[in-house]
Amino acid sequence: MITNKPILLNLSPTELEDLVTGWGEPDYRAAQIESWLYQQAADDAAQMTNLPQALRQRLVDESILSPLTPVMSLDSADGYTHKTLFALPDGQEVEAVLMRYDQRQTLCISTQAGCAMGCPFCATGQMGFKRNLSAGEIVAQVLYYARWLGARQPLVRQLDRAGKQVTNIVFMGMGEPLANYAETWRAIRRLNDPSGFNLGARRMTLSTVGLVPAIRRMSREPEQVGLAVSMHAPTDELRNIIVPLNRRYPLAMLLQTSREYIERTHRRVTFEYALMDHLNDNPTQADQLADLLRGLLCHVNLIPLNPTPDSPWSGSPDERVAAFRDRLQAAGIPTTVRLRRGIDIAAGCGQLRNAHSQGKVV
């Protein structure tokens, strides 16, 4: 359903103030509403008990508090991963995944419905580009999970973020965040703002396929958000196939930009590398990758490919993953293997949405 009611989460503090003063309310009402939205994660105006009844009704009638409707959700068998598919107001669908560890609760969120980058191994790439999400649609994924966690652990104090709250956010769901730069950054500001969700920027990590001009732009932002670069291949010849954007921004350019990013921000960059059996996982390729990264303040995250139905490649078996990791480490490159969490709930980016639209999961 398409409506032109304002989505409150899309508004900056000033815009929210303009809205309520335009309704004849005092400006401090905006701060109260903001606190309900971001700190209490309220999605229903009836909860906003310190607002006059007339204003609550106006919010119900004339605004949208949450632009997301959960369509389905799944728990992984081990109970540590929970995934939700959301419908947006125009019927597009996006996913978010919560990964629960002992001390952290990391939420992976989407920035676009679909993706235009066309990486052949990726379920989101396979569906093509639908549209950019607005900042409010991005933030709403976090607030949904803040509510979800809060409802499960009502006795844990609000301040105890580790127990009750989303403690880390990764922009690694559907879409290419740097291709939706303005709205992604607006979302980061709302999430970081003390009067918003108030999560430290260092607890957020943005993953990009390698949009060089946008990485440069990101290096000049005041918020210290972490950068992850999806590498996946150590030569242009192979990366042109796995990551088609490489034809526009080849490896030398991407690495030079990463080097400049590190010099400017002094922050360690993560290079992600999805291991595909006998495609990008042999020892020579590990050596080539080590040569590219030597001397950079960086860290490599290996993840065996989570195969999608249309992917031409399969994930590397454990022994090839371990051998690749050992070789990089021996060459002095800090390397970890990311757990394939939630594989039983199609937790790879875009996979739940595809399964749902093909009628495989209901």
What is the three-class DSSP state of 301?
strand
How near is the Cβ of 7 to ligand SAH at its closest, in Å? 23
Stretch that binds ligand SF4, among 10-18, 63-71, 114-122, 138-146 (CB under 6 A): 114-122
Selecting among 25, 34, 93, 95, the annotated active-site residue is 95
Q: Could you tell me the two tokens for 103? A: 């001390």
Q: Could you tell me the two tokens for 39? A: 């700190």
Q: Which residue's beta carbon is nearest to the bound ligand SF4?
A: 125
Dihedral sign from CA coordinates of 271, 172, 243, 314: positive
Q: In Å, what is the CA distance from 163 to each residue of 64, 102, 107, 196, 200?
A: 29, 9, 14, 20, 17
How near is the Cβ of 108 to ligand SAH at its closest, in Å? 8
Amino acid at 156: V
94 strand-pairing partners: 86
Selecting among 108, 122, 298, 349, the annotated active-site residue is 349
Q: Which of 17, 176, 183, 272 binds ligand SF4 (CB under 6 A)?
A: 176
Q: State the virtual CA torsion across 232, 333, 283, 119 in degrees, nearest 10.
A: 0
- Residue 227 DSSP code: E
Closer residue to ligand SAH in complex, CB, 283/312: 312
Q: Which of 65, 97, 115, 204 binds ligand SF4 (CB under 6 A)?
A: 115
272 noted as active-site residue:
no
Stretch that binds ligand SAH, among 35-43, 56-64, 126-134, 299-307 (CB under 6 A): 299-307
95 noted as active-site residue:
yes
Interface map 156-175 toward ligand SF4 (x if CB under 6 A): -------------------x
| Rg value, the chain, Cα | 21
Closer residue to ligand SF4 in complex, CB, 167/207: 207
Considering the rule CB under 6 A, would residue 125 count as an interface residue with ligand SF4?
yes
Single out the residue of 58, 28, 16, 179 nearest to residue 111, CA to CA. Answer: 179
Q: Which residue has the tokens 């006795």?
A: 155
Total residues at interface with ligand SF4 (CB under 6 A) = 12
**Rounded distance, CA 3 to CA 97, Å?**
28
**Rounded distance, CA 338 to CA 174, Å?**
18
Interface map 340-359 toward ligand SF4 (x if CB under 6 A): ---------x----------
Closer residue to ligand SF4 in complex, CB, 67/348: 348
**Rounded distance, CA 224 to CA 205, Å?**
9
How near is the Cβ of 345 to ligand SAH at its closest, in Å? 14
Q: Could you tell me the two tokens for 94? A: 């996006």
How near is the Cβ of 323 to ligand SF4 at its closest, in Å? 24
Considering the rule CB under 6 A, would residue 245 count as an interface residue with ligand SAH?
no
Closer residue to ligand SAH in complex, CB, 8/243: 243
Q: Which of 16, 64, 172, 233 binds ligand SAH (CB under 6 A)?
A: 172
Considering the rule CB under 6 A, would residue 346 count as an interface residue with ligand SAH?
no
> How many residues does the structure list for the chain?
362
Do residues 172 and 141 make contact, with C-beta atoms less than 8 angstroms apart? no
Rounded (to 5) percent helix, strand, coil in the chain:
40, 20, 40
Considering the rule CB under 6 A, would residue 349 count as an interface residue with ligand SAH?
yes
Which residues of this chain interact with ligand SF4, rule CB under 6 A? Answer: 115, 117-119, 122, 124-125, 175-176, 209, 230, 349
Residues noted as catalytic: 95, 349
Which residues of this chain interact with ligand SAH, rule CB under 6 A? Answer: 121-122, 172, 176, 207-209, 230, 272, 274, 303, 305-306, 308, 348-349
